[in-house]
Amino acid sequence: MSKIRTRRRPGAAETVAPAPLPAGEVPVVELRDVSKVYAGGSVGLERVSMRIGRGEFVFLVGATGCGKSTCIRLLMKELEVSSGEILIAGKKLSEVDRKRVPYLRRNIGTVFQDYKLLPNRTVYDNVAYSLQVIGESREEIRRKVPDILRLVGLSTKLHNYPDELSGGEQQRVSIARAFVNHPPLLLADEPTGNLDPETSIGIMQLIYRINRTGTTVVVATHDKEMVDKMRRRVVELRDGRIVRDEQSGLYRPDESTTEFAIRLRGELGVGDEGNPN
């Protein structure tokens, strides 16, 4: 058994820790020893610390229930930390008072697995809403919304309602909405969770393009293929703890077919205890 557990592939063993931020730069996202315990006692995050610099593209990976979504929801102050401190662009979230939360969220674009579009509004109005919220003038809205919808490839569906669109199209609308006022930070919680691989690539392409404009992007996902192919910074969580933080990582450190087979059998309770890596 121990023979199999050791890594065989030479390339995969060389993991690179994320480069330290340049001195003096304020990280866009910083978690200091953050723990989140839900009412009822279940642990969402346990003593997590990390720093994400400007313009980074970070995958948060891990099994369901490992704390990915907790992390995203903490970042947008939908939940409060139990202990520790979260800083967004150097500002402590604990010091953002309830009434200022909307203003915080205007600087954070969010994309969700279930799209969270407003069902009573057309594609155009859904995107326009996030501009109306910040008090953008009508002319600006009329200029920006068609632009961003062209960018996500939906210029022909401006006046459709969300339930008339496919999943991929709905996710494009939600990305357009998240990005229309160019927030410095984009959070995506399982953006491809409900989509087929082909559509997922299109969505990830869009998110990548947004990242290229200088926006910091944090994507929580369990889309192994996507993570492996994009080779970006990967933060792996397990049971609320960070177990891995690599500069350009894989979803899971490489594993052979045999290793996988053993893990599969082990996890099904057949044969030996099969603890992966």
8-state DSSP, 163: G
Is 13 a binding residue for another protein by CB under 8 A? The answer is no
CA distance 277 to 2: 10
> What are the residues whose beta carbons fall under 8 Å from the beta carbon of 8, sequence distance 6 or more?
256
> What are the residues whose beta carbons fall under 8 Å from the beta carbon of 240, sequence distance 6 or more?
35, 36, 43, 44, 45, 46, 48, 66, 67, 70
**Interface with another protein in residues 49-88 (CB under 8 A):** 76, 78
- Tell me the sheet residues that pair with 60: 220, 235
In the stretch 176-215, what mask flags binding to another protein with x, by CB under 8 A? -x--------------------------------------
| CB of 115 vs another protein, minimal distance in Å | 9
Our CB check for another protein shows the closer of 105 and 263 to be 105
CA distance 60 to 234: 6
| CB of 98 vs another protein, minimal distance in Å | 9
Our CB check for another protein shows the closer of 172 and 232 to be 172
**Interface with another protein in residues 84-123 (CB under 8 A):** 99, 102-106, 110, 116-121
Run of H or E including 199: helix 197-212
| CB of 174 vs another protein, minimal distance in Å | 10
CB atoms within 10 A of CB 97: 7
* Residues touching another protein, count (CB under 8 A): 22
Q: Which residues bind another protein (CB under 8 A)?
A: 76, 78, 99, 102-106, 110, 116-121, 129-130, 132-135, 177
